[in-house]
Structure formats: C-alpha cells, structure tokens
C-alpha cells in the first residue's frame, strides 16, 4: 500500500535542550552541547568530552513524574515521547489503534552498572530492583505503560540506525492499515559500557568533533531521545500537521561489524531507495541531515555515497551531531525531529567547527544557521554498525 503517512507531533530531549524550543534556540545561537562528563561515573571523566543531557536522574524523574530509580534511558524516552504525543494534540487517542515503536541500544544498562559496583564489592549489597529494566525491550514496555498504549508495542535495536528503522517500521504499520497512530523514535543514555567500547575502537575525539572536515578526529558520544507521532490520512483529518514522511529505506551491505564500506554501498542504497520510494528525484532534495559522526571511515563512506547519488547538483547539508554528539540508538529519532522542524521553519542547521573540505569532494557542509529557506524535502541519514543503513525523507505538505 502507498497511503500517505503524516507527522502530527514531535518531542525531543538532548544535550542542547530539554524540549523543541530549547534545541531550536541552541541551533540559532550555535551553542553545542559537548562538555566535560558531569553525571556518568567513569575514570574518563576528565579525559573524554561528551554531550550529556543537562539534568540529573532526579531532575529527569521529576519532569517525568516518576521514580528516580527508573533507568535514565527510560526517563529520557518518557519525556520525549510524552512531549511528542502532547504536541500532536490528538483529542481521543482511545478511539484509535495506537502503537509505540521505540529504539535503543543500551536498555537499562546504566542501572545494571550501578548494581554491580556494589554487588561485586559485597554480594550482600546491591538491589535487584535496580536491574529489572536491563534489556532493551523493557524500556519500551515501561514507557508504553506510562502512556497507556496497548495496541502494538515493539523495540528496534540496529545500532545507530535503530530509531530511523523504528520510524520506517511505524510508517509501514500505518500504510498497511494495521494502526492509525504510531509514536516512533528512540532513546539512549550514556553508560560506562558505551564509553569504554567506543574508546576501545579508538574513534572518540578528545576535542569537540568536526564532522565532514578533512582534519576530523572522531566522534563525541551523546545521549537523549527523539520521537515523531505518525498518523494515517484518516487520523490526520482533524490535526495540525508538520509534514509527510514521504520516503524511507533500509539497506545492509554487511561489510564489517563496526566499519562502513569504503565505497559507501549501504549508504548509497539507503538514500537511493528512500528517494525512489518517495517518488522524487535526487535533485528534489533540498537539505540532507547527515549521519556525519566525525570519524574518518563513516564520513568518507557517506560522502562517497552522496557524490555517487547527487553529483553534480548537491543539496545543502550538515551534521547536527556537531551539536548533540552521537546519540547512537536515539540519533535517528532526534534527527528526524530536527528534519521535521527544518521543513516547518525552513531551517538549515550549521555544521559546527568545519574548516577544511574533505579531499576528493567538491561539496562542503553548511556552517551558519538560516531559517525561512525554501525547504521542501529533507533527507535524514542514520547508518549503523554491521552496515545497517537507513534513510528517511520528510516532505512539505
């Protein structure tokens, strides 16, 4: 089926803001969210910059109206998903078939890490109630319960493409007439496991990242959550809409466990497939929200794919990870929200700290904030480990 799927609401929390308005203000003032580690207990506190949400677990719990013993991953999810649902202003959700499709990669690992610190020092210490949300699906189920969503609940975990895939899957459920409304996106919190893992891969920048720059040195890890409320044409009739989700595609080149293929095969197939599904041509895309992590491999693969698909007419492009850091399983959801806002307000986001064009490419990312631009179609890229690559296209109504 090819029924239209619309975006009726958005919600986000990230290192640059606790809601949509704060994030937009940070973009306009070009204020990045990276800094020294404040909340995560790690030996790397003074060594590695990250992009943390600027609230403690207690402060997040207060905003969510729940216990602070809940995993940080779930708290972030609850805040952003609830904000998206409220933004959609659906008067009677109980009369609609509603789903919650949420992504993450760490589950409640933050609470598990805290538990084992105490338990390993003394087996009589540590409280098992702190690890009940360890696996990824429990985060989704807990938030769905809080939002009173019962019809369809599922979790997607495909590394950094996770929440883009959650959004694409939500759209398919609506297109095939299975649901009327889907809150789709993702969440991830910083954990010691994540930080240590990426540090072992030697792809963390000890400075603030600069995606798509010839002198890029790696990524900065971040955290947060982002969700869009997708609705069918029938459910959209009485709602104020942002845009259409006109295209999406997932591709997997299976090149390597953690590296993108040098020729950008997966990236190219995802973008090409999304463009074709939308019925557009590459020249119709006005802006690309780049995956743009800042690592040598990822940026080279994505740039190669962009050159292959768009040469010689390149859209404007930038990586909002230069503000939020790489939020892993949440990145596709957070950047989907930013893409929707780009459509609504005609925004082109700046690619902070960019100085030197990548060798072998004639295009460069945007370096200044602008709004009220003629943005009709936005392509948002999310490319993950194992070659799992996804692209979404949002289009003006």
- Confidence (pLDDT) at 258: 67
Task: Identify whether 160 is a catalytic site residue.
Answer: yes
Catalytic residue among 23, 249, 291, 389: 291
**Element (H or E) spanning 382, and its range?**
strand 377-383
Query: What are the tens digits of pLDDT across the range 237-276?
Result: 989 999 999 999 999 888 777 677 888 899 999 999 999 9
Q: How confident is the model at residue 56 (pLDDT cuts 50, 70, 90)?
A: very high
Give me Rg for the CA atoms of the chain.
Answer: 20
Residues 6+ apart with CB under 8 A from 145: none
Task: Identify whether 176 is a catalytic site residue.
Answer: no
- Confidence (pLDDT) at 306: 98
In this model, does residue 52 exceed pLDDT 60?
yes
In this model, does residue 1 exceed pLDDT 70?
no
Q: How confident is the model at residue 94 (pLDDT cuts 50, 70, 90)?
A: confident
Distance of CA 56 to the CA centre of its chain: 21
Closest CA to 186 of 337, 378, 28: 337
Structural domains in the chain, CATH included, are 5-395 (3.40.47.10)
Catalytic residue among 160, 209, 249, 389: 160
How large is the average pLDDT for residues 127-149?
91
Catalytic residue among 23, 326, 377, 389: 326
Q: Are 375 and 396 in contact (CB under 8 A)?
A: yes
Q: How many percent of the chain have pLDDT more than 70? A: 99
DSSP 126-141: S-GGGGTT-SHHHHHH
Q: Are 382 and 291 in contact (CB under 8 A)?
A: yes
In this model, does residue 189 exceed pLDDT 70?
yes
Task: Identify whether 313 is a catalytic site residue.
Answer: no
In this model, does residue 169 exceed pLDDT 70?
yes
How large is the average pLDDT for residues 317-328?
98
DSSP 131: G
d(CA 159, CA 201): 15
């Amino acid at each position: 089926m090819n029924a239209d799927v619309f975006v009726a609401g958005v919600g986000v929390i990230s290192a640059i803001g606790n809601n949509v308005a704060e994030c937009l203000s940070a973009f306009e003032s070009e204020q990045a969210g990276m800094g020294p580690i404040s909340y995560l207990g790690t030996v790397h506190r003074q060594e590695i910059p990250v992009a943390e949400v600027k609230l403690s677990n207690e402060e997040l719990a207060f905003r969510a109206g729940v216990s602070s013993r809940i995993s940080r991953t779930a708290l972030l999810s609850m805040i952003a998903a609830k904000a998206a649902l409220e933004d959609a202003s659906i008067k009677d959700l109980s009369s609609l078939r509603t789903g919650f499709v949420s992504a993450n990669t760490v589950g409640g690992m933050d609470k598990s890490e805290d538990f084992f610190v105490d338990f390993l020092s003394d087996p009589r210490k540590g409280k098992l109630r702190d690890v009940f949300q360890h696996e990824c699906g429990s985060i989704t189920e807990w938030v769905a319960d809080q939002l009173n969503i019962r019809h369809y609940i599922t979790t997607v975990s495909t590394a950094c493409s996770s929440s883009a895939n959650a959004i694409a899957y939500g759209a398919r459920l609506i297109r095939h007439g299975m649901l009327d409304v889907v809150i789709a996106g993702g969440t991830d919190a910083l954990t010691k496991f994540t930080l240590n893992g990426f540090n072992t891969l030697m792809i963390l920048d000890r400075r603030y990242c600069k995606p798509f720059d010839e002198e890029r040195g790696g990524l900065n890890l971040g955290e947060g959550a982002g969700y869009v409320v997708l609705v069918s044409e029938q459910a959209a009739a009485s709602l104020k809409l942002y845009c259409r989700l006109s295209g999406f595609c997932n591709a997997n080149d299976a090149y390597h466990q953690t590296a993108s293929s040098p020729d950008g095969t997966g990236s190219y197939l995802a973008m090409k497939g999304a463009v074709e599904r939308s019925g557009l041509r590459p020249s119709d895309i006005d802006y690309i929200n780049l995956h743009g992590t800042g690592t040598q491999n990822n940026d080279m693969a994505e740039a190669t794919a962009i050159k292959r698909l768009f040469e010689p007419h390149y859209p404007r492009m930038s990586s909002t990870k230069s503000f939020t850091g790489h939020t892993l399983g949440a990145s596709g959801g957070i950047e989907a929200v930013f893409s929707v806002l780009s459509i609504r307000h005609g925004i082109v986001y700046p690619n902070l700290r960019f100085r030197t064009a990548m060798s072998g490419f004639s295009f460069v990312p945007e370096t200044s904030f602008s709004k009220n631009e003629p943005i009709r179609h936005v392509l948002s890229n999310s490319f993950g480990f194992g070659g799992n690559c996804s692209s979404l296209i949002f289009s003006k109504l």
